[in-house]
Every structure is written in C-alpha cells, then in structure tokens.
Structure 1
Amino acid sequence: MDKLNNVNISEVQKLISPRQLKDLHPASEDMAEHIHRSRREISRILSGEDDRLLAIVGPCSIHDTSAAMEYAEKLNVLKKKYADKIYIMMRVYFEKPRTTIGWRGLIVDPHLDGTYQIGEGLKEARSLLLKINSIGLAAASEMLDPIVAQYLADLISWAAIGARTTESQTHREMTSGLSMPVGFKNGTDGSIQTAVDGMKSSRYPHSFIGIDQSGDTCIFTTKGNSDSHLILRGGRRGPNYYEESVEEAERIMKAAELKPAIVVDCSHSNSGKKHIRQERVLRDIVEQRLRGKKSIRGFMLESNLFEGNQKISENLCDLKYGVSITDECIGWKETEQLLASVVEKLD
C-alpha cells in the first residue's frame, strides 16, 4: 500500500493528446491564414497603428454550442458591416475560474452535471472554435489551464489572463510563449499594478515545464510576448473605467516603460455584474476616446441571444435557450443597438 503518493486522488484517466485531438479536428490552411491575419490586425489595433476599436463581444461562458453558433452567425454580420470602424471578435470562454466552487465551464463539465467529461469537453470546444473561425469570425478566450492551451490555442486570436490568475507566475510564463495578443485583467481587488507586473514579466523569456503536442512532459523556453496589454474590469472598490482610473493606468504603465494600451471590460465590477449597466460603461469610454484618450484600444461586452442569466437546474431541459448560466448578459437586440451607437459616434 502506497502511503505517500496520490493519497487524495480517487481516479486517474488517460487523456487524448493535443496532436490526436488536432488530427480529429484539424484547421485548414485557409483557416490558419485567417487566424494569423486576425492576430496581426488585433496587434496593430493594440499598438495604435490601426485606429479602430477592438470589440470583444459574446457570452460570459459557452454552455450550449448550438446557441453559441447561432450567436456567432449574427455577430459575424455586424463584424462585416462595421469593419471600417471597429474590429469585432467573439468572446468564446470555455473555462470559468471560481472563487470557491461552481460550474467550471464547458471543457471541465460539458454535460453540466458534475460528471467532468473533460475529454468530451475538449472535443466540443475545438469543434466549436473551428466552426466560428470557418465563417471568418475571430475567437477570444481566457487562458486558464496551461495544459488546455496546447489543445486550443492555435484557434484563438486573442486571449485574456483573468483577474484571479493575473498574479500567477505560471500564467505569466505561459503568456510569454503564447502566439497571440494577451490582455491581463487587473486583480479582483482592483490592483492595476498586479496586471502591469504581469504584462512586463510576460514580455521576457521564461523556461517552464509543460506538455508538447504528443502529451510528453517537456521544458519550454520562450521568447517573450510583446503583444500584452491591460484590461480594466473594476474591483472590490468599484469600477475603474472612469477617466481618472484610465489616467492612473497610463501612469503605471509608463512607469513600467510600457506603452499604454487599455481594453475596458464593460461587465464584472465595472457594471456591478448588472447587465443593464454595461451600456453606461461603453458610452463613457467611447466619449473618453473621442476626447483624445487613444490609450483606450477596445472594450469587452458580455452578450448573449437573450438577456439576463439563469441557474443550472436539476432538469437540464428546463434551461432557457440562449440565456447565460454564469454572469448576466445583455440580449442580442441591445447588442445590435450598442454596437451601432458606437460606430455612429466614431463617424
């Protein structure tokens, strides 16, 4: 009897390797070129070379891939319509960090029942990303588990490091090796310095342990990621999208010898997690931009087919179609109106 190892492990299951999953759900050459082009465009917006605003719009989390694809089709119409003023991409979040416990996202629990069929979740997530990219829409997602990144990162054009992990050395190292622009959210306490430290750290080379495409344990040595930026999402002390907060963020980034580049999250603590307040946040930051705050390079909106949110019920048949099961989202009609109003103001 082994008294030292795996004392609190009840089961170990083999998982498909990243290469095996990609062989089952491969990206075409055309799709690879689309993602490469999307990353370049996003990078140019964040650096200020492209004057458009980045618009990261979509559900708080993905739990129904059919509803997600219907949303993607609708969003893609707006992407094409407003392409000269804003660069629209879809928020496609599969992993949900938790302060304590709760549903942890499609990858970890795809059946929403606590059975944790992670292998199935990875397949569903990759399949959805392929479909979204195939219509010409770029995907944005949070990078939470460094192992998961090996399965999906090739299909993601922009990534975020969340408020709960922005201080994590593991996530700073991972970011230094990612191939797309990455935003660091300020900490849950509202600390901007934490995120700026993450940005600076991720711009330098690192070495760390991870798995390769075959699933073998390897040492990765990175070059550093120059496309990191700040995401303001508010904190325990309240919102931080106001002009004074933006100026403070600019000061901290300049002190760290970083060119200010800010994306404002209109949800979370900036809206008090009330979906109807996202409009006032968006309206304010667009006005700031029009007054010359060019460091504001984009915004995030939590949006779904229908407004509000719902709890996961024991009978999953009772779930309302197109309604978030995590944070509150604005509905599609309001999403259309808000994006149209942004473009109108920018004209």
Structure 2
Amino acid sequence: MAQVTDLHISSNIPLPAPALLLSEVERSAQQAEFIAESRQHIRNILNGEDHRMLLVCGPCSIHDTKAGIEYAQRLAELADEVKHQIYVVMRVYYEKPRTTIGWKGLIMDPKLDGSDNIPEGLRQARHFLREVIDCGLPTATELLDPITPQYIADLISWSAVGARTTESQTHRQMASGLSMPLGFKNTTTGDLTAPVNAIKAATQKQTFLGVSEQGVASAVTTSGNPDCHIILRGGDDGPNYGADDVAVTGRLLKRNGLQASIMVDASHANCGKKYDRMPAVFREIVRQRCAGNTQLIGAMLESNLVAGNQSFPQPVTDLTYGQSITDECIDWDTTLQIVREAATALKQSGVVG
C-alpha cells in the first residue's frame, strides 16, 4: 500500500498535558491574585477609568533567564517609582515569528542549540513568569502558537497578536477566549483594517478547534474578549506614531463601533528597527498624551540591559550578557531616563497625578 501520511514528519513527540505542567509548575494564590488585579488595572486604563499611561517594556525576547530576572528587578524598582503616572508591564516574549528561518524563541528552543526541547521550554517559561510576578511586575507576551496559552496564559496580564498574525482567523478565535486584555497590531504593510476586523471578531462568541487542559483535541466555544485594542507599529510605508496617524486610527475605530483605545509601539517600523531612534518616538507618544489625547492609552518599548543586538546563532558562551539576540533594544540607562522623563511630563501636564 502506498504511504500517503507523514511523508515529511521526522518525529512526533507528545507534550505533557497542560494540566500536568500547571500542577508541576504551579502558581500560588498570591500570584493568581496579583494577575487578576493587574489585568483589572489594564482594563481600567483601556476603558478610561484609570488615567495612567500603560507601558509594555522589556527585552525583544527572553533568551537568558538570568539576565531577564536582573532586568525585571531593575524594572520593578522603576515601575514603583513612576506608578502614579505610568502602569508598567514587562515584556516576556517567548515566541518569535519568522519570515523565513531563525531562532523561534525560548519555548521552542530553550537551549539555543536547535534541540527544540519544547517541554523544557514550557517549564522554563512558567518558572520565569512566576519569578517576574514575584518581583511585583505584571507580564506581557505575544501569543503566536494557539496551543501555547493553555500552558502559560494563567501567568500573563496582557498579550498581543502580532503584525504577521493579526489577519489570521485562528488567532482571532484564540483571542476571543483569552482571559486578559489584548492588543492587535497593524499588519507589516501598515494596514489598519485587519486589526479593526480582528477586534470585531475577538469580541464575539467563537467556536473552534483547540486543546483541553487534559491535552485532548476539543471543540472550544468562547464568550468573546471585550478587552481588545489596536497597536500601531508602523509598516512598509513608514511610521504611524504621529498625531495625524493616531487621529485617523481613532476615527476608524469609532466608525466601526469600537472603543478608540490605541497603543503605539515605539519600536519595529516606527523607529525603522533602529534602537537609537526609539527614544524620540517614545517622547512623541508621551507628548501627544500630555496634550490631552486620551485615546492614546499606552506605548511599547523594546529595552534590555545592553543596547542594540547581537548576531545569532553563535556559541552561547560567546553571547554578550543582557543583549538581545533578536531585535535591537535600548539599554537600561536610556530606559530609566525616558521613562522618568515621561512620568514627570505626565504629572506636570495634569493628565495624571
């Protein structure tokens, strides 16, 4: 008989059931309470009940958990310092979308050697998230694989659907069942219609194929996620963080019957993927907010201990500690400076206390 299945499958290794991994790397009652409270703070910002600015800040991706925790400890101190003006959430990105090939993140390849030990990656992800939470920081991530949320979503305060997947029906359905606030980015071309349609879909009831806590394929029905917003990240035609771009986006959301809650990503195409341009973009976002644009609810920064990025793959022992192996990031001193500046400007403007 001719072989017609698995012609290109070299291995198929079962993962531990989500329920098993969640019991192995368990969240505490205190951590659960913190996650619930932080999600509510973010919802209040989206709804205009909390006038602080939301800031999602941290490494482009987590590849070294030791450096990641050092960063988290520093960010927690800064977050406490500016807490009356800015609500800081740490980027804890484990999955990296790839146009062609490359390292796909800590969950997929935790040893950075191509061994692709996904069960170990999931364990490391949960351990690291718990450590960040214990620092007093809410967590943010981009959810790329629709199975991943079953393993880590209980430790996430805010999530994103990226520019490459905003148009994906699978990701819109997934978002409709997530328990945290979520942002949809404009597409890599800069298109705004796709994230608007994504928000419409994610806020509605959906039924789709999924995985249960026991690891069994299942039909999942959701009630819809009401806490969705748009993220401007620039596109092929250039940046879209200016006041005119934000105004156009606000009008488009309102025309479609959606709440005009807009976050702007200071990295990616908005800074031309050049880390030294990121502070100027962030200052412009803050300037608009200080000028009274309440539709502009937050910003994103890619920030690490060391500026820039480094080539990868290379031997792990040769990597520079605290420097990104994916997109360029601003360094810690720059982060400290511009976030403090933003808090002072927001306070002086009277937008927040």
* TM-score, with structure 1 as normaliser: 0.99
Q: State the AA in 2 paired with 1:76.
A: A
Q: State the AA in 1 paired with 2:224.
A: G
Q: Does 1:60 align with 2:84?
A: no
Per-residue deviation, residues 294-315 of structure 1 (Å, max 9, x unmatched):
1000000000011010012432
What are the equivalent positions in structure 2 for 1:64-83 lying under 5 Å apart? Answer: 64-83=64-83
Q: State the AA in 1 paired with 2:217.
A: T
The residue number in structure 1 matching 2:229 is 229
Aligned pairs, number: 347
Aligned Cα root-mean-square deviation (Å): 0.9
The residue number in structure 2 matching 1:289 is 289
CA apart distance, 1:233: 0.2
Q: Does 1:344 align with 2:344?
A: yes
Q: How high is the sequence identity, in percent, across the aligned residues?
A: 49
Hey, what's the Cα distance between the residues in 1 that align with 2:150 and 2:2? 32
Q: Does 1:238 align with 2:199?
A: no
Contact 1:52 1:85 in 2 (8 A): yes
The residue number in structure 1 matching 2:128 is 128
What are the equivalent positions in structure 2 for 1:162-173 lying under 5 Å apart? Answer: 162-173=162-173
Gaps of 5+ in 2: 348-353
The residue number in structure 2 matching 1:29 is 29
The residue number in structure 2 matching 1:312 is 312
SS in 2 for 1:208: strand
SS in 1 for 2:151: helix
Hey, what's the Cα distance between the residues in 2 that align with 1:315 and 1:167? 36
Hey, what's the Cα distance between the residues in 1 that align with 2:133 and 2:313? 31
The residue number in structure 2 matching 1:301 is 301
Hey, what's the Cα distance between the residues in 1 that align with 2:70 and 2:135? 12
Q: State the AA in 1 paired with 2:272.
A: G
Q: Which moved more, 1:310-319 or 1:71-80?
A: 310-319
The residue number in structure 1 matching 2:103 is 103
SS in 2 for 1:286: helix
The residue number in structure 1 matching 2:321 is 321
Q: State the AA in 2 paired with 1:299.
A: A
CA apart distance, 1:286: 1.1
The residue number in structure 1 matching 2:40 is 40
Contact 1:207 1:222 in 2 (8 A): yes
CA apart distance, 1:110: 1.0
SS in 2 for 1:146: coil
Gaps of 5+ in 1: none
The residue number in structure 1 matching 2:268 is 268
Hey, what's the Cα distance between the residues in 1 that align with 2:212 and 2:100? 30
Q: State the AA in 1 paired with 2:278.
A: Q
CA apart distance, 1:135: 2.1
1:260–1:20 distance in 2 versus 1, CA, 3 Å? same
Q: State the AA in 1 paired with 2:221.
A: T
CA apart distance, 1:38: 0.3
Per-residue deviation, residues 120-142 of structure 1 (Å, max 9, x unmatched):
11111111001111222100000
Hey, what's the Cα distance between the residues in 2 that align with 1:24 and 1:329? 33
Contact 1:313 1:319 in 2 (8 A): no
Q: Which moved more, 1:299-308 or 1:9-18?
A: 9-18
SS in 1 for 2:4: coil
CA apart distance, 1:17: 1.0
The residue number in structure 2 matching 1:17 is 17
Q: State the AA in 2 paired with 1:8.
A: H
Q: State the AA in 1 paired with 2:212.
A: D
What are the equivalent positions in structure 2 for 1:87-236 lying under 5 Å apart? Answer: 87-236=87-236
1:2–1:104 distance in 2 versus 1, CA, 3 Å? farther
Per-residue deviation, residues 205-244 of structure 1 (Å, max 9, x unmatched):
0001111111011111000011000000000000000111
CA apart distance, 1:2: 5.7
Hey, what's the Cα distance between the residues in 1 that align with 2:161 and 2:206? 17
Per-residue deviation, residues 148-206 of structure 1 (Å, max 9, x unmatched):
11000000000000000000000000000000000000000000111111011101000
SS in 1 for 2:102: coil
SS in 1 for 2:184: strand
Q: Which moved more, 1:91-100 or 1:12-21?
A: 12-21
SS in 2 for 1:69: helix
SS in 1 for 2:147: helix
Hey, what's the Cα distance between the residues in 1 that align with 2:133 and 2:284? 31
SS in 1 for 2:160: strand
1:157–1:240 distance in 2 versus 1, CA, 3 Å? same
Hey, what's the Cα distance between the residues in 2 that align with 1:17 and 1:238? 43
